[in-house]
Structure 1
Amino acid sequence: MLKSLKPCGEPCCSNLTRESYCEQHMRTKPAYDQYRESATKRGYNSKWRQARLGYLSKHPFCVSCMMEGRRVPATVVDHIKPHKGDKKLFWDSGNWQPLCAPCHSRKTAKEDGGFKRLRTDHFLSL
């Protein structure tokens, strides 16, 4: 059975695909994105989604935006210290913070060395 069509995972791309990215953007993704496990295999499953919703209901605003005096709804539960597969660190709610999507993207890009750059430490765990 064929997967249903969905939008490409590349921001602002309107192409439809059965994979994470359309053919055009699959070729431009760094090797890290092409070879890492799915979100579910990395722990972002139904248990995580339930924990995430509970956390966001108790912490509804982005901590980064709040520090700038803005009340922006949080949509992401961020791991302050990247867990890199460590389940204990993954589930440590003291290592979580609420962020809006733009702040989370900026934080992740900074940790990864910039947008579309390759993090070599990810290859060590493959």
Structure 2
Amino acid sequence: MKERPWRRLYNTKAWYRLRAAQLRDEPLCRLCQQMGRVTAAGIADHIIPHKGDEALFYDPGNLQSLCKHCHDSAKQGQEKTGRLPGCGEDGWPLDPGHHWRT
């Protein structure tokens, strides 16, 4: 896999502080909560992929807390397909753009 130049941002003190604050303020996985589960979060995920944009990378409003499972499965799937898989506890799709939600 080709190394992305923005990977260096994840090794900065500013990122470590931002990540710690995110996980302190939102300690549970956001996607699991939407599905009616309670799971500790361990990843501060960028909602909108930053692709090296430092303003977006360090924007605390662009972060959500996820567990490793949701980050590596549902979130990665969403980035590849443009759709968030799964449904919530109420049975409605999690993806706000799903045609059933309109």
TM over 0.5: yes
- Deviation (angstroms), 1:53: 1.1
Indicate the residue corresponding to 2:28 in structure 1: 61
Equivalences for residues 1-80 of structure 1 within 5 A: 33-37=1-5, 39=7, 41=8, 43-45=9-11, 46-80=13-47
| Counterpart in the other structure of 2:49 | 82
Percent identity for Structure 1 against Structure 2: 41
Which of 71, 95, 99 is the matching residue for 2:66? 99
Cα distance per residue 1:54-111 (max 9 Å; x no partner) = 2101110000000111110010011001001111111111111000011011212431
Q: Which residue in 2 is equivalent to 1:22?
A: none
Aligned counterpart, 2:80: 112
Higher relative contact order (CA 8 A, sep 6+): 2
Q: Which of the two has higher C-alpha Rg?
A: 1
- Structure 2 residue runs of 5 or longer lacking an equivalent are 82-102
**Aligned equivalents of 2:51 and 2:3: distance in 1?**
15
Structure with higher helix content: 2
Q: How many residues align?
A: 79
Please, what is the CA RMSD of the aligned residues? 1.6
Compared CA separation, residues 84 and 38, structure 1 to 2 (3 A): closer
| TM-score after normalising by structure 1 | 0.57
Q: Which amino acid aligns with 2:49?
A: P
